Structure 1
Amino acid sequence: MKPIQVGLVADPAAPTDIAHQLSDLGPPGGGDREAWDIEIVSEPFSMDCEDVDTALARLRDHSRQHEWDVVIGLTELPFRDEDDGRYLLAETDAQRRMAVLSLPALGGIGMQARARHAVRALISGLAGNTRDGHGEPLPRFTNRWRLLVGMVLANRPWLLVPGLKSALVAALTTGAIATINSTVWLLAGSLSPWRLIVATIASIALVVGWLVIDGELWDRPDDNSPEAREKSRLYNTSTLVTLTIGVIICYLALYVVNLAWALFVLDPAVMGGYLGVALGYGDLFVLAWFVASAATVGGALGSGLESDEAIRAAAYSKREEERRSRLAHERT
């Protein structure tokens, strides 16, 4: 029996990585069912388009070129249904045996397993394999919160600070100097816990705001339509959540680094004698807390040395980075 020719067209970076992990995918149920011969093409088929119909049209061109029986597109682009405004998990064209799968709509958690299940369901349905009950139905829509989680995780917030080398150097330098500064010791000792908490929140908010402004990361709607405004709200929310998570991770890392540095180089008794106050090792934890806030602000100043392209590359997935760069170029 001739195998079904399946094409997986994936946007570069994460979608392509996921597609390659699906190369061994087979039909549900196994047995004597038609096998799948899967071919993977890495190409930005969703580039310069914000609607699912354009993406499907580009997949149709690929299908004709490669003579596939079924073609599935994998993208990190979120799509909305034009009729009711709900967010799409997948859009299919059963007549032409094509589908587009929005990976962020899977929710991000357990992406590999979810993508595997979704692609198998799509191929089974498009190839006509659900007639005997072996295929599993795939929901067409997803909710906004699951999509948002998927978009944030696709942006890899844990890689934000390592991607901004100037900011990282500035933060570490600020922390190292502040740790051995007597004035900083006095300030840290004079602050109550709630003031330290306020300093933490303020430093994180300052960095997030600075990155948004300096990197021109705020998305503006193309027009005044409700659809355009909702799309901008979604992108801006994912930006703020991504940056906030990334900066919080940076803050915690700076706290650990500064605490280790303080424990290594400082003797609280010596510093206490110099300042004329009684100090113990417990005060080093308070000092590291205060210094982490100061170092975070120092990192924000260091990010000013980064280019807008570098900030976008650190803050976004490959697909979103290209989209933001294109929009920025169109507005200049």
Structure 2
Amino acid sequence: MTSRPASSLAGTASAPTTRVRLGLLLDASAAPLDPVAPLGPAALAARLDTAALADRLHAEYPGLDWEVDLREERLGDPDDDALDLLEVTRDRMLDEDWDLAVAVTERPLVQGRHTRAEQVSPGHAAGVVSLDHADESALDAVDRVVGWILGLDPDDAVPSSADRADAARWARQLAADVETRAGESGASYAARVAASSARLILGTVRANRPWTVALTLTRSMSTALATGALTLITTDLWLLSAEYSPTQMGLVGLVAVAAVTVSLVVGAHLWERPRRASERQQVTVFNIATLLTVLIGVGVLHVLLMLVSLGGALLLVDADVFAEVTGEPATWVQYVKLAWFVGGLATIGSALGAGLEDDDDVRDAVFTRGASR
């Protein structure tokens, strides 16, 4: 992190400002969109006045001194999708030790069946914006994506001053450096990073919208529902749920959530390793935020499956038959225990569905956001 005093007109020094390095990549590989009046990288670079962008960002985010580093280069391969371009942008950011990065391209951003105006990952502090049929200037598009990276809700037309201040604090933590201590364990370093970047990590998790993860992974959800339907009508499980203590039921839930979390993180290669020492802090922040995002998302899945199981139990499990099989009266407590147990097994079943999910679908659901055209 680099700080310097900002001078006032009266000559007195105010509080030091934090310098934030923004990497701006112009895609030189895309063909001009309009053969009659082509933009091309050179014309696009002329439209992206780095001094004007830095002044705008300085005005929008108080206490920050923005340094915009403009680079023109080939951004991936012609057939790369939006996630590929985002990964290229993030790799370039790590190589150059930028605090955040935005790539600008004139080609469409395609992800699966969708064409997007931008692909943004607050956890990676990176974004890609397409000017293909854009209804705003390149400067406005970059400014908007920077705000999205810093946690501003893109659905809010005019962010409040409090939102801007929160985004500025987010940027300060991106620019702050956590010293590396000789002989320190990875767990100790991660704990120090988590303590110093708590606001950044929590903001990243919120921006990832973990409560939507379960609903976007259709294979996992389908497998979980199928598992729940099969186990709900198994009388042996009625006996187990009736006999299990609250501690045992809690362990079932914890094992279920942990199993699916590990399956998603490992199966989709969401856990990253730094390639060099300078990347260690950013990668640690990303890994912590990703783990929390998946954990919360799977926790929400577990609660949803438990509620679905409770509804199914009330509809399908006859109270007299339940009492005859288990020897326990079919009270609300027994129905809730059965629903919790079945929901836990269904959650574990979703781990099988997670193995069938495409890695890009999982990554897209967990930590990237994009607006479709």
TM-score bucket of the superposed structures, by smaller chain: 0.5 to 0.7
For 1:285 and 1:99, the matched residues in 2 are separated by 46
Partner of 1:164: 217
- Pairs aligned (count): 234
Aligned positions of 1:78-227 closer than 5 A: 101=146, 103-106=148-151, 112=156, 115-117=159-161, 141-142=172-173, 144-223=197-276, 225=277, 227=278
Distance 1:58 1:286, change over 3 A: closer
* 1:294 corresponding residue in structure 2: 345
Q: Look up the match of 1:252.
A: 303
Q: Deviations over 1:185-213 (max 9, x none)?
A: 01111111001111111110111011111
- Contact map agreement 1:251 1:293 (CA 8 A) in 2: yes
In the alignment, the residues of structure 1 paired with residue 280 and residue 299 of structure 2 have an alpha-carbon distance, to the nearest angstrom, of 28
Q: CA RMSD in A?
A: 4.0
Give 1:240's aligned residue. 291
Query: For 1:311 and 1:75, how far apart are their aligned partners in 2?
Result: 13
Query: Within the alignment, does 1:281 sit opposite 2:334 as a pair?
Result: no
2:44 — aligned with what? none
1:49 aligns to what?
A: 92
Report if the CA contact (8 A) 1:167-1:301 is conserved.
Answer: yes
Residue 304 of structure 1 deviates from its aligned partner by: 1.1
**Cα distance in structure 2, aligned partners of 1:120 and 1:315:** 25
- TM-score, length-normalised on structure 2? 0.53
Q: Deviations over 1:232-286 (max 9, x none)?
A: 111110110000110111111111110001101111212322x261331321111
**Structure-1-length-normalised TM-score:** 0.59
Equivalent position SS for 2:214: coil
Cα offset, 1:118, TM superposition = 8.2
In 2: Cα distance, 1:263 partner to 1:314 partner: 32
Indicate conservation of the 8 Å contact 1:171/1:296, yes or no.
yes
Alignment match, 1:17: none
| Pair 1:112–1:234, CA change in 2 (3 A) | same
In structure 2, the residue corresponding to 1:161 is in which secondary structure?
helix
Distance 1:289 1:315 in 2: 25
Per the alignment, in what secondary structure is the counterpart of residue 215 of structure 2? coil
Change (3 A) 1:117 1:46: farther
Query: Residues 23-38 of structure 1: matches in 2 within 5 Å?
Result: none
Contact map agreement 1:109 1:150 (CA 8 A) in 2 = no
Residue 77 (structure 1) shift = 6.2
User: Against the structure 1 CA distance between its residues 217 and 58, is the aligned structure 2 distance closer, same or farther, given a 3 Å change threshold?
Assistant: closer
Overall identity of the aligned pairs, in %: 29
**Structure 2 regions of 5+ residues with no counterpart?**
1-23, 25-58, 61-84, 107-119, 126-142, 174-195
Segments of structure 1 that go 5 or more residues without pairing to the other structure are: 1-8, 10-26, 29-42, 63-73, 80-97, 122-137, 320-332
